[in-house]
Each structure stands twice: as C-alpha cells, then as structure tokens.
C-alpha cells in the first residue's frame, strides 16, 4: 500500500489548525496548554477521572448535523481531532459578546466555585449540556448525571447544580452552528488524515480492513479511554496507530427486527442508550458506566475487545446472548461473546482481524422475554470501575427454568458465565432451593482474587447476594419490584 501523508487539521477559535507534525500520542491537553497556550483547561488526574480537563469537541453526525460532546482532553490524542471543532473555556466569554456566558454567570451568581481548579471543566460540561437542551433546563437528576465526570473538592455540588439550572434563565446565547458545519464539511472533504508509519484514520471499512491486514502490528485506537491511559499513566510507546473513529459505517447502531447491531466504533453512550431502550433494566448500569465524557468518547467495541475482567459491557452482552462480527480483509466470521475470551486480556482475534460489530439478539415478539437484570457493585456510585458486575437472564416455562445465562465480571481472569450455577438451575423450579444450589455452585465456578477493589471473600459473598436479589425480583411467587430492593429508593423514601 502506498503511503501518503495528509495533514491533520481541525477547527479552533474560528481558524483551521494544522498539527501534522505532532506525535500521534500527544494529548489534546498537552497541545492546549503547551502549544496553544490555552491554559484555562486544567490537568488533575490525567486519566479521565476528574473532569478538570473537560473541553467540547464538535463533529458532524450521520445526518450532517453538529454534535457537541464534552471530552477529557487529558486522554484524547491530538490527531483524532482531525475534521472536528474544538471549544475550551477561553471561548465562552467571546460567545457572550464580551460579557460572561450564561453558564459562567450562573456559576458566579450561585457561588459555584471556590479554589476554581475544577471550574473550567464544569463550565465546559455545563456548556455542552446547555447546547444539548435548547428547550430549557433538564431535570436536576439529568444535570447530575451529566456532571458525574466532574469532581469538585471544595465547593460542593449543590451550588453547581443550582447554576446548571439557573443558566437557562438568562437570555439564550446559543452557538452559531452554520459556519461551523460549513467549515467541518470542507475539512472532511479533504483526504483522510495520515502520518505514514505512525497514524492512520481510514474512513471506510474497506480501507480499515486493508490497513489492518497490511499492518497487523499496528495498534487499533477507538475512543482511547483505555489506550490513552497506557500513555499518560504507563508511559508506553504504542507504535503505529490506526484510528477507528472516522469510519462512518462503524459508528452506527442499527436496531433491526431481529437484533441490535452495534458498530465497533459506536460510542458507549449510543450503544447503552439503544440497549436500555430495549431492556430498561439496564438503565442504571448505563448511567454508572464511567461518566458522560468517557461514554461519548469510548466505544462498546473497545470495551469488549480490551477484554478487561471488570469491563461492564461483556457480562451484560453475554447475558443477552451477543455475538461478535469479526472481519479480516474481506472475510467475516461470527464468534459468540461467551467464547471470545481465552485468558486474562486475551481473545480469539487473529492477526489482521478486528471487531466490526456486536450483534445482540432482540426478543422474538411471540416469546415471553427473558427476565434480565444487571447489578454493578463498585466503591463509588458514579464513575467507578466495578468490583463485581452480575448480569442475568432467565426464561421461565411456568415456574420451571427453561433457559438461563448468568454472566459475571470481577470473579475470574475473564468475564465468564457461571457454568456450574447455571447447571444447578436449568430444568428446576425457580424457588429458594434452586437459588441456594446456584449460590453454592458459584464457589465451583469462581476462585476470585483479592485486590484493591475487593477481597476474594467479599466478591463471592456479594455474587451470591446479587443472585438472591435477582431471585427476589424474578421468582414466580411474590416477586418484589426492583424498587423494593434499591438502596436509592429507600433513601428517597426517607
């Protein structure tokens, strides 16, 4: 394949910036602070956790409209900005015509800042929310969900949430989108950006497949919410990168009659929204998966391919009977997700192959849907990695268990089904004796580890308790509504 260099250009402050000379793993935050001297954006953790570095990235969606996303600049590699637009805290006052933007003014008025270190990040998350809601203020809970990736250590969240509501009261100062859309169209009509031997950003599946075959050693980069940390925390040299985020056909989620097909580069936010639309029981796991800036950057394809034993998507997808569509050149094959992992962070991908899509079967309309539940246990409620995640689907024929899938993260070297516990249930009545047999069998299925998130004994105990909770919610006799078992519902009722 002939290699040609094509510039990496994006839109910043109304001008096109060319960063072709930057190293592919230079972060957007490094560029902002050290090159562009936009030091309003702060570095707190450099791992996507605190939100101090939040900026807003605009890109054209599949309908050609401008989509604005809050993004963690600390783990975003600069070349992935090609063809997109960037806004930082410095840009907002300019939009207010010299006065503070309503977002900033509301933070002042509500005393939403003390030391101010977190404030630029909050401002940008709030601005993204402001632009997403031209109709007016969202609910306070929606605001809190949007801000779950921004930490403040001194002000406290009440005044910040107050500001999030107050900002909608001022006369609207909306972004003028048409010139941005026009500029992005022009940028994207130019050849796909590339740095030979270092960085490629194909735009079609065929181009990606050819590149992947020609360079099987190159690292695939999707949202970079895992890979970014390999650079900022582990200081790893990643070698050549192939970026998936510009392959339009991979960024789609298609809801077909028989399946939800999640393109490998569709964001976590898109994917979870589609899954929770079909299975509302997944809403809590969706909103507790990282934070909005991570979910609008990271992909479900990356979560599954990375294969972390504590990744949140895999147990849910396995409980739903998902299959991966893998591509190598023109050749396609399908592998059931529960057969994909071969060991700790290892999987069945061949050299030159990649995940093209995740296919999740939908409920056949004529059939009683399986009872699905997923429970995440983590030290912090929001934006934390799981200690244990259990996802369960059971089909009952009367009281008898006709089919069962129990998938777990955090109990073994890979996300895994509990074969012995499933065998203890299949064909039996879904009663307390069956539950207890399955609880006992979990010790056969899993020998969990002790680490900083949880002890082995805690993991096993919590796994057994989650199974009990599931039974209480799904037993044929006197099932309890999920709210009766939710600590948050108890809290609200106080």
Positions in the binding site for ligand FES (CB under 6 A): 43-46, 48-53, 72, 74, 113-119, 152-155
Residue with tokens 């796994």: 463
Among 218, 264, 281, 316, binds ligand FAD (CB under 6 A): 264
- Does 145 interact with ligand FAD (rule: CB under 6 A)? no
Nearer to ligand FES, 122 or 470 (CB): 122
CA of residue 221 relative to chain centroid, distance: 14
**Count of beta carbons in the 10 Å neighbourhood of residue 489:** 12
Instruction: Judge contact between 79 and 243, C-beta under 8 A.
Output: yes
Rg for the chain (alpha carbons), in Å? 23
Nearest distance from C-beta of residue 379 to ligand FAD, angstroms:
12
CB of 226 to ligand FES, least distance (A): 14
Q: Residue 153 binds what, of ligand FES, ligand FAD, none (CB under 5 to 8 Å, by partner type)?
A: ligand FES
For residue 136, is it left (φ>0), alpha (ψ between -120 and 50) or beta?
Answer: left
Length of the chain as a residue count? 494
Residue 219 contact among ligand FES, ligand FAD, none, beta carbon within 5 to 8 Å by kind = ligand FAD
Stretch 33-72 residues interacting with ligand FAD (CB under 6 A): 47-49
If 0-12 CB within 10 Å is exposed, 13-18 middle and 19+ buried, where does residue 411 land?
buried
Of 36 and 238, the one with the shorter C-beta distance to ligand FAD is 238
C-beta of 332 vs 457, nearer to ligand FAD: 332
CB nearer to ligand FES: give 105 or 204: 105
Q: How many residues bind ligand FAD (CB under 6 A)?
A: 31
From the list ligand FAD, ligand FES, none, pick the one residue 74 interacts with, judged by a Cβ distance below 5 to 8 Å according to partner type: ligand FES
Q: Considering beta carbons, is residue 157 or 458 the nearer one to ligand FES?
A: 157
Closest approach, Cβ 71 to ligand FAD, in A, equals 12
From the CB of 372, what's the least distance to ligand FAD, in Å? 18
Q: Which of 110, 211 has the CB closer to ligand FAD?
A: 211
What is the smallest separation between the CB atom of 44 and ligand FES, expressed in angstroms? Answer: 4
Distance, CA of 150 to CA of 51 (rounded, Å): 4
The residue whose two tokens read 């998938």 is: 407
Give which of ligand FAD, ligand FES, none residue 315 binds (C-beta under 5 to 8 Å, depending on kind).
none
Q: Which is nearer to ligand FES, 122 or 392 (CB)?
A: 122
Residue with tokens 């955090």: 410
| Pairwise CA distance, residues 435 & 431, whole Å | 6
Our CB check for ligand FES shows the closer of 30 and 422 to be 30
Partner from ligand FES, ligand FAD, none binding residue 52, C-beta < 5-8 Å depending on class = ligand FES
- How far from chain centre, in Å, is Cα 359? 17
Question: Residue 337 CB, nearest distance to ligand FES (Å)?
Answer: 30
**Exposed/middle/buried for 406, CB within 10 Å: 0-12, 13-18, 19+?**
buried
Does 268 engage in binding with ligand FAD (CB under 6 A)? Answer: yes
Conformational region of residue 237, where left means phi above 0, alpha means psi within -120 to 50, and beta covers everything else: beta
Quick one: 220 or 404, whose CB is closer to ligand FAD?
220
414 binds, options ligand FAD, ligand FES, none, Cβ within 5 to 8 A by partner type: none
Rounded-to-integer distance, Cα 336 and Cα 318, Å? 8
Q: Least distance in Å: CB of 58 to ligand FAD?
A: 19
Interactions with ligand FAD, residue window 282-341 (CB under 6 A): 289-290, 294, 298-299, 301-303, 305-306, 311-312
Task: Residue 155: name its binding partner from ligand FES, ligand FAD, none (Cβ under 5 to 8 Å by kind).
Answer: ligand FES
Q: Which residue is nearest to ligand FAD (CB)?
A: 302
Determine contact, residues 270/223, Cβ cutoff 8 Å: no
CA angle 395, 401, 402 (to 5 degrees): 65
Map the footprint of ligand FAD across residues 194-233, applying CB under 6 A: 219-227
CA 492 to each of CA 139, 154, 349, 373: distance values in angstroms, whole numbers, following the listed order: 16, 25, 46, 22
Among 53, 56, 137, 138, smallest CA distance to 92 is for 56
Smallest gap from residue 16 Cβ to ligand FAD (A): 26
Query: Which residues are CB-contacts of 157 (< 8 A; sequence separation ≥ 6)?
Result: 144, 147
Under 8 Å between Cβ of 17 and 78: no
Asked if 74 interacts with ligand FAD (CB under 6 A), we say no
User: Do 187 and 83 touch, CB atoms closer than 8 A?
Assistant: yes
Go through 428-437 and write b for each residue having 16 or more CB atoms within 10 A of its CB, e for each that does not: bbbeeebbee
Distance CA 82, CA 382 (A): 31
* Chain mean position to CA 346: 21
Nearer to ligand FES, 291 or 439 (CB): 291
**Least distance in angstroms from the C-beta of 222 to ligand FAD:** 3
Site for ligand FAD in 370-389 (CB under 6 A): 383, 385
Picking from 412, 228, 223, 452, the residue whose alpha carbon sits closest to that of residue 308 is 412
Residues engaged in binding ligand FAD (CB under 6 A):
47-49, 219-227, 244, 264, 268, 289-290, 294, 298-299, 301-303, 305-306, 311-312, 354-355, 383, 385
């Amino acid at each position: 394949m002939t290699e040609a260099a094509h510039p990496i250009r994006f839109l910043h402050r109304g001008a096109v910036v060319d960063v072709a000379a930057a190293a592919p793993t230079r972060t957007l935050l490094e560029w902002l602070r050290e090159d562009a001297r936009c030091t309003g954006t702060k570095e707190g953790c450099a791992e996507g956790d605190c939100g101090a570095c939040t900026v807003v990235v605009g890109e054209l969606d599949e309908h050609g409209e401008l989509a604005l996303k809050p993004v963690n600049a600390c783990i975003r590699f600069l070349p992935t900005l090609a063809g997109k637009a960037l806004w930082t805290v410095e840009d907002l006052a300019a939009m207010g015509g010299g006065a503070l933007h309503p977002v900033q003014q509301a933070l002042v008025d509500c005393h939403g800042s003390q030391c101010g270190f977190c404030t630029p990040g909050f401002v940008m998350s709030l601005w993204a929310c402001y632009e997403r809601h031209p109709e007016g203020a969202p609910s306070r809970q929606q605001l809190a969900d949007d801000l779950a990736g921004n930490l403040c250590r001194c002000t406290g969240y009440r005044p910040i949430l107050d500001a999030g509501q107050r900002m909608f009261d001022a006369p609207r100062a909306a972004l003028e989108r048409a010139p941005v859309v026009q500029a992005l169209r022009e940028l994207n009509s130019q050849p796909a950006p590339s740095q030979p031997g270092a960085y490629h950003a194909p735009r079609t599946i065929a181009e990606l497949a050819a590149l992947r075959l020609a360079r099987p050693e190159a690292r695939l980069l999707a949202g970079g919410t895992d890979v970014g940390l390999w650079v900022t925390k582990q200081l790893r040299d990643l070698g050549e990168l192939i970026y998936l985020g510009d392959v339009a056909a991979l960024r789609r989620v298609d809801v077909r009659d028989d399946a939800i097909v999640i393109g490998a580069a569709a964001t976590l936010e898109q994917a979870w929204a589609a899954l929770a639309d079909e299975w509302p029981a997944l809403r809590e796991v969706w909103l507790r998966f990282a934070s909005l800036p991570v979910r609008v950057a990271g992909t479900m394809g990356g979560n599954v391919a990375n294969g972390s034993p504590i990744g949140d998507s895999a147990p849910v997808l396995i409980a739903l009977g998902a299959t991966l569509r893998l591509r190598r050149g023109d050749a396609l094959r399908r592998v059931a997700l529960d057969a994909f992992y071969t060991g700790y962070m290892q999987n069945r991908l061949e050299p030159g192959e990649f995940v093209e899509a995740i296919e999740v079967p939908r409920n056949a309309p004529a059939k009683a849907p399986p009872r699905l539940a997923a429970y995440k246990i983590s030290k912090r409620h929001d934006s934390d990695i799981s200690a244990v995640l259990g996802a369960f689907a059971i089909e009952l024929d009367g009281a008898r268990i006709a089919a069962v899938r129990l998938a777990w993260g955090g109990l073994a070297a890979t996300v895994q089904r509990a074969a012995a516990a499933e065998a203890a249930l299949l064909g039996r009545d879904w009663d307390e004796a069956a539950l207890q047999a399955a609880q006992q069998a979990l010790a056969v299925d899993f020998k969990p580890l002790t680490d900083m998130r949880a002890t082995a004994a805690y993991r096993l105990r919590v796994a057994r308790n989650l199974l009990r909770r599931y039974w209480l919610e799904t037993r044929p006799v006197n099932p309890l509504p999920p709210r009766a078992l939710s600590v948050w519902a108890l809290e609200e009722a106080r």
